[in-house]
Each structure stands twice: as C-alpha cells, then as structure tokens.
Amino acid sequence: MKELSLIEKAFFLKNIELFSDLDLDLLIAIGEKMNQDIYEKNEKVFDRLQIANKMYFIANGSIQILNNSKSLIKTLKTNEFFGDESIFNEQPRSYFAIANDETLLLSINRTNLLTIISECPSIAVSLLNKYALNIKNRHFNEN
C-alpha cells in the first residue's frame, strides 16, 4: 500500500464529511499538516485509556472499534474518521482501535487541528453537527 501525495490527500479529504464543503487550496493546507501511517492487519492504532493526541482518517482499509472488554462496537471503513471525541478535552480514549486489514490512516495532532479550526471555523461547525447527530442517534438507539 502506498502513501498519498499531497494532492491525493486533498482529494481524499474532499470525500470526508467534515471537510466536504472546503475549497481545494484549504484542503491542501490541511493535508500538509497530516501524517500518514500504514497499519498491518490486527495492529493496534491506540489503546483504551490512552491520552488522545490525534484524530484519524481512514484513507484505505478498515478499523475495528472495540469496547473495554474488547467486544466489537463498530467497523469503520474508508472515508470515515475516528478519535476526534477525546482530542478536544484531552481525556483518555474510551475504546480500542485496531486495523481490521492493511490500512492507511491519515492523522492530525491536536495542535494542528486547533490551528486549522482557528483558520477555518466552519470545520468546528461541522464537528458540532457530527456530535449532535451522534447524541441524537445514541438517544434513539437506547429506546
């Protein structure tokens, strides 16, 4: 699996709900602040209770999200993201993330994410909308 060029990162980010309304030049600037890592099947991305310092975007492959008893909560696929819920409050992760197969992840650390949000507040609005939907879905799934 090969890493993405800067322009490929920008086009990939355009497919992410969080960034879909942004112009290509801004997506390139965001892509410059991102790291790329390839994870092998069953390789751990992070542990539950690990302090959050990155948010992840799945460029290729899939990630299993596991609870504290290591039971599957959800499988995330290409163009989905995770790890964002703990990065803002610097709380420990509430779940494990493990590569389901060979997976290419783009990541952004807390400092770079906050810089991007200060430069483009519409990203903060997108994150808030995502959280509102998650809370709504969680509420309906409990009933």
Q: How many domains does the chain have?
A: 1
- In the predicted model, what is the mean pLDDT of the chain? 89
User: Binning pLDDT at 50, 70 and 90, where does residue 142 land?
Assistant: very low
Do 80 and 58 touch, CB atoms closer than 8 A?
Answer: yes
pLDDT given at position 49: 92
Q: Round to whole Å and give the CA distance between 27 and 78.
A: 18
pLDDT digits (tens, 9 = 90+) for 5-45: 999 999 999 999 888 888 898 899 999 999 999 999 999 99
Q: Is residue 49 part of a domain?
A: yes
Do 84 and 93 touch, CB atoms closer than 8 A?
Answer: no
State the average pLDDT over residues 71-96.
89
Q: Is residue 52 part of a domain?
A: yes
CATH code where residue 90 lies: 2.60.120.10
Q: Is residue 67 part of a domain?
A: yes
Write out the two tokens for 137.
């879905």
pLDDT digits (tens, 9 = 90+) for 58-78: 999 999 999 999 899 999 999
Is the predicted pLDDT of residue 143 greater than 70, yes or no? no
Q: Is residue 46 part of a domain?
A: yes
Is the predicted pLDDT of residue 94 greater than 50, yes or no? yes
Q: Is residue 53 part of a domain?
A: yes
Q: Is residue 33 part of a domain?
A: yes
Q: Does this model's pTM top 0.95?
A: no
Q: Is residue 1 part of a domain?
A: no
Is the predicted pLDDT of residue 141 greater than 60, yes or no? no
Tell me what percent of the residues of the chain surpass a pLDDT of 70: 93
Instruction: Annotate 87-127 with three-state secondary structure.
Output: HCCCCECCCEEEECCCEEEEEEEHHHHHHHHHHCHHHHHHH
Q: Is residue 60 part of a domain?
A: yes
Boundaries of domain holding 16 = 6-142
